[in-house]
Structure 1
Amino acid sequence: MTRVTMIVTDGIAEVRLTRGAKMNAIDPAMFDALIATIDELQASSARCVVLSGEGRAFCAGLDMASMAAGAGGIDLATRSHGPANRVQQVAWGWRALPMPVIAAVHGLAFGGGMQIMAGADIRLAAPDTRFAIMEAKWGLVADMAGFALWRGVRGDILRELAYTAREFTAQEAVAGGFVTRLADDPHAAAIDLARTIAARSPDAVRAAKRLARLAEDADAATILAAESAEQQALLGRQNQVEAVRAGMEGRPARFTD
């Protein structure tokens, strides 16, 4: 059974978790499919990614029954994907992609589902979505890159939710920084936003993502130098010139990938 599908249209890669009957709970096959999809996107010319789940939920977290059988064989020590291990790559990999990723979240985002969502650059959620950092319920900690991806979340809120595993609302998720904003139809809103992003110079958007990632933990001098280097690489290039011409002529830009 297919666990993840991807369709690329007009520069937008629509990635969907497709285990709807199990509320997109993560089993070993879904780990494999997510990593393969991220690898494919890494080499893709797609300008933006929209990540969603089919059926009643974005992702209900780990399928504990299917994962338990192979738990003893999981290698958490090996850094197989840059700074991340294989388990972390299914969430960290979205943040490491060169193009922006928008998560469209509905129903549930529990445990591993919350961490996959956290890997997106922008997270749109339906107002009735339920969230939980569920791992403490099972005597575990979030280890799918959650703590690295939640650095922008308010620390005391993160601690309470990680210590208790309690469910919380979409409104709390926005207030705490887990979600960017609410949308009655998060998938439609994500597609609209992706179209806006895809209409900008892909060179500039990818440079902005690199700078945003660097700004999360680098010192000011490093960030300032990187801004200058990125700008120097953009100035006078084909897509930058086209952006200026299109703006002056009042027409849609025709960028090259």
Structure 2
Amino acid sequence: MKDRVSIDVSEGVADVRLVRAEKMNAVDGAMFEALIEAGDICAADRSIRAIVLSGEGRGFCAGLDFGSFQAMASGPRREGGGSGERLLDNEGRITSRGQQAVYTWTEQAVPVIAAVHGPALGAGFQLALGADIRFIHPEATMSVLEIRWGLIPDMTGTQMLPRLVGLDVAKELTFTGRMVPGTECVELGLATHLSDDPHADAMALAREIASKSPDAIRHGKRLLSQVGQVTVAEQFADEARTMGSLIGSPNQLESVSAYFEKRDPVYED
């Protein structure tokens, strides 16, 4: 994993980086597995309260490694997408392995913030969409690039993209594969904030989030993420139950005590 993805955890924040800089962090089979493994590691570590996802070198992620396209062109057709790296078999999960490399960040219990610079194309684009919040450099570029290769976004992009930009814009971007500059990404809703230093700003926000009650943050993310996937009645009932479970809990009482005592709270993981 270490030759594809690194994880550095400090003060409740996991700094997760794609480290294949010499290939613009292009995704190959090893990168798929490394992203899934890194996601599993973060999910199992209760001390992590926020995650920053970024890429080293000149860009966030240039997409699928070109060698994979060559394998698609020359190899036999495979179920679930042309290359053997994206077979549907994924140990009983609802995702293929390629989808899980992105979905592992979406399903994290804690907030995930993507820091995007340079290109975020195809697989890299979908990886950025798997985060909860995105900081993007004005000169960065995002694209649903799969149409160039006669493909469709198959790493959860068809689920996430319409939720962010609306169905009509999602269709346009998917049908054309046009390059979207960072400034327009924010205008469309593909990114949350413009930043001259996306990683620094993402880390600052992650540290702020990590300073809040981890119980409230985790439940807040879960409730907001399920909007549109449950009925309104179920959402209201879940909201009420969650509030009841938080009131009087140790971390909620610590929030109140720290505020009135004018000190930093000390939360239980």
Same fold (TM over 0.5): yes
- Residue 201 of structure 2 aligns to a residue whose secondary structure is helix
**Aligned: 1:89 with 2:90:** no
Aligned to 1:131: 142
Alpha carbons 1:154, 1:177 under 8 Å: kept: no
Partner of 1:14: 15
2:266 match: secondary structure: coil
RMSD: 1.5
- 1:75–1:166 distance in 2 versus 1, CA, 3 Å: closer
Give 1:34's aligned residue.
35
Instruction: Measure the CA separation in 1 of the matches of 2:125 and 2:166.
Output: 16
In the alignment, the residues of structure 1 paired with residue 68 and residue 157 of structure 2 have an alpha-carbon distance, to the nearest angstrom, of 22
Deviations for 1:34-77, whole angstroms, at most 9, x for unmatched residues? Answer: 01000111111200000000000000000021464374434543
TM-score normalised according to structure 1 size: 0.96
1:123–1:81 distance in 2 versus 1, CA, 3 Å: farther
Q: Is the 8 A contact 1:80 1:86 kept in 2?
A: no
Superposed counterparts of 1:40-79, under 5 Å: 40-45=41-46, 46-66=48-68, 68-69=70-71, 71-74=82-85, 76-78=87-89
Distance 1:72 1:112, change over 3 A: closer
SS at match of 2:263: coil
Which residue of structure 2 lines up, in the alignment, with residue 5 of structure 1? 6
C-alpha spacing 1:75/1:23, structure 2 compared with 1 (3 Å): closer
Q: How far apart, in 2, do the equivalents of 1:104 and 1:214 lie?
A: 24
Q: 2-side partners of 1:118 and 1:81: how far apart?
A: 24
Matched, 1:244 2:256: yes
Q: Deviations over 1:85-142 (max 9, x none)?
A: 2110111110101111000000010000010000101011011101110000000000
- Pick from 149, 164, 176: which aligns with 2:176? 164
Inter-partner Cα distance in structure 2 for 1:160 and 1:142: 13
Cα distance in 2 for partners of 1:79, 1:29 equals: 15
Q: Report how far residue 241 of structure 1 moved.
A: 0.3
| Stretch moving more, 144-153 or 27-36 | 144-153
Counterpart CA distance in 2 for 1:67 and 1:11 is: 38
Runs of at least 5 residues in structure 1 that lack an aligned partner in the other structure: none
Greater shift in the superposed pair: 152-161 or 137-146: 152-161
Matched residue type, 1:94? W
Of stretches 214-223 and 19-28 in structure 1, the one that deviates more from structure 2 is: 214-223
Alignment of 1:154 onto 2:156: no
Partner deviation per Cα, 1:179-205 (whole Å, 9 max, x = no partner): 011111010100110011000000110
Equivalent residues of 1:87, 1:144 under 8 A apart:
yes
| 2:221 is aligned with 1:209 | yes
In structure 2, the gaps of 5 or more residues are 73-81
Q: TM-score, normalised by structure 2?
A: 0.91
Q: How many residues align?
A: 257
Once residues 241 and 95 of structure 1 are traced to their aligned partners in structure 2, the CA distance between those partners, rounded to angstroms, is: 29
1:72 and 1:109, CA in 2 relative to 1: closer, same or farther beyond 3 A? closer
3-state SS of paired residue (1:152): helix
Question: 2:78 maps to which residue?
Answer: none
